[in-house]
């Protein structure tokens, strides 16, 4: 990993960006995602990131979320090192749910 700082936004800014069409990727595991996730978040577990990186658009900004912000920061750094424009969502899903932002339960479709 590089020594570059990973861009970061809080959950409220992330929600604004999602409303304007920015893709949100959740890097938690499927069981965590099924328990609760931000509405519209696309599941791509950190454990699958390197194998599925080609599924992530490189021509648009993306937001990365996890439980609290640590895994998503690592994922965003890895993606940015490879030319993506990834931003970490500080506080993660814990902060998202605590703030009452739109969330859902159940597995990805």
Q: Which two tokens stand for residue 32?
A: 């965590």
85: DSSP letter: E
Decide if 66 is catalytic: yes
Total Cβ atoms within 10 A of residue 6: 21
Q: Which domains does the chain have, with CATH numbers?
A: 8-104 (3.40.250.10)
Token pair for 92: 């993660």
**Residues 66 and 92 sit within 8 Å (Cβ to Cβ):** yes
How far apart, in whole angstroms, are the C-alpha atoms of residue 34 and residue 104?
8
Check: pTM over 0.75? Answer yes or no: yes
18, 38, 49, 66: the catalytic one is 66
Residue-wise pLDDT tens digits, 20-36: 999 999 999 999 999 99
- At 69-101, the pLDDT tens digits run 999 999 999 999 999 999 999 999 999 999 999
């Amino acid at each position: 990993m590089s020594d570059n700082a990973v861009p970061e936004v809080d959950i409220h800014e992330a929600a604004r960006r999602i409303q304007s069409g920015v893709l949100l990727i959740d890097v938690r595991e499927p069981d965590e995602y099924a328990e609760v996730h931000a509405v519209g978040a696309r599941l791509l577990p950190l454990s699958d990131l390197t194998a599925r990186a080609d599924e992530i658009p490189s021509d648009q900004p993306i937001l990365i979320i996890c439980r609290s912000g640590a895994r998503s920061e690592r994922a965003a750094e890895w993606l940015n090192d490879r030319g993506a424009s990834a931003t970490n969502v500080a506080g993660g899903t814990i902060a998202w749910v605590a703030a009452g932002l739109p969330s859902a339960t159940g597995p990805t479709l």
